[in-house]
Amino acid sequence: MLTYGKFKFLDLIDMDWEKEMELVCPVNKLGKVTLYQTNRHGSSDGANAPAFLSAIAPQVVVVNNGPRKGMGQLDDAAVPVNPSGARLAPFERNGYLRLAKLPGLEGIWQVHKSLLDADPSHNTAQDMIANMEETADCKGNWIKASVARDGTFTVTNGRNGFSKTYQAR
C-alpha cells in the first residue's frame, strides 16, 4: 500500500483469496483504495475475492494481465461456492465482470487485451488497453498513473496517449 495524501495505491502481487480475506475480514485493515493493481494478473482463480474487492472498493483498477494470462480465464475452482459457502453469481467467475460490477468503480485499465475470452464485453474500452496484440508482437506499452498532491491522478495509456484524470475520493 502506498499513500500520498488522499491517494491510496494497492498492489498485493500474487496474494491468494485466503490472505486477501485476512486483510479485510473481520476488520478491513486496508480501507478503501484509490487505485488497485489486481492480484494474479487479474484472474479470478483463487484471487480477487468478491468480498475483498467490495471491502477495498477501488475507484480505478489496473489489470496487469497478459494476452493469455490472468483476466479472461474462468474461475472454475470457485464454482459452485465461495469460502463462505454461498453460490457465486455467473459474473463472479470472470475477472473482468467481477471488477466491472463493483459499485463506484470509475475505470478499468488493462496492460493487455485478454485473448482468453472471445466475448468483447469481457475487456475494457480499447483506449484503456495498452497492448492489443499477441505476445510475440507485443510492443510492451505501459500504463502510468501520475499523482498530484491535491489527490488528482491521471492514468495514461502508453500505446495511444489516451489519458483520463480522476479525483481521489
Mean pLDDT of 42-55: 84
Range of the domain at 44: 2-140
Stated pTM of the model: 0.87
Model confidence band, residue 126 (pLDDT cutoffs 50, 70, 90): very high
Does residue 160 belong to any structural domain of this protein?
no
154, part of any domain: no
Q: Which residues are registered as beta bridge partners of 146?
A: 154
Residue 158 lies in a domain: no
Query: What's the pLDDT score for residue 122?
Result: 85
Residue 26: per-residue pLDDT:
94
The pLDDT value recorded for residue 110 is 95
User: Considering the domain boundaries, does residue 150 fall inside one?
Assistant: no
For residues 97 and 53, the answer to whether their CB atoms sit within 8 Å is: no
The residue with greater pLDDT, 99 or 81, is: 99
Give the list of residues 6+ apart from residue 49 with CB closer than 8 angstroms, or none: 17, 20, 21, 82, 83
Mean pLDDT over 143-150 rounds to 95
Asked whether residue 133 is domain-assigned, the answer is yes
The number of residues in the chain equals 169
Q: Domain for residue 108, yes or no?
A: yes
169 found inside a domain: no
Distance of alpha carbon 163 from alpha carbon 30, whole angstroms: 27
Per the structure, the count of domains in the chain is 1
Q: What integer pLDDT is reported at residue 84 of this predicted model?
A: 63
pLDDT at 125 over 80: yes
What's the whole-number average pLDDT of the chain?
A: 86
Residue 62 · residue 10 · CB < 8 Å: no
pLDDT at 80 over 90: no
Reply yes or no on whether the pLDDT at 131 is more than 70: yes
163 vs 50, higher pLDDT = 163
Instruction: Report the half-sphere exposure of 151 (CA within 13 A, side-chain side).
Output: 8
Decide if pLDDT at 78 tops 70: no
Average pLDDT value for residue range 24-51 = 88
**C-alpha cell at position 101:** 460490477
Answer whether residue 147 is part of any domain. no
23 compared with 94, residue with greater pLDDT: 23
Does residue 160 register a pLDDT over 90?
A: yes
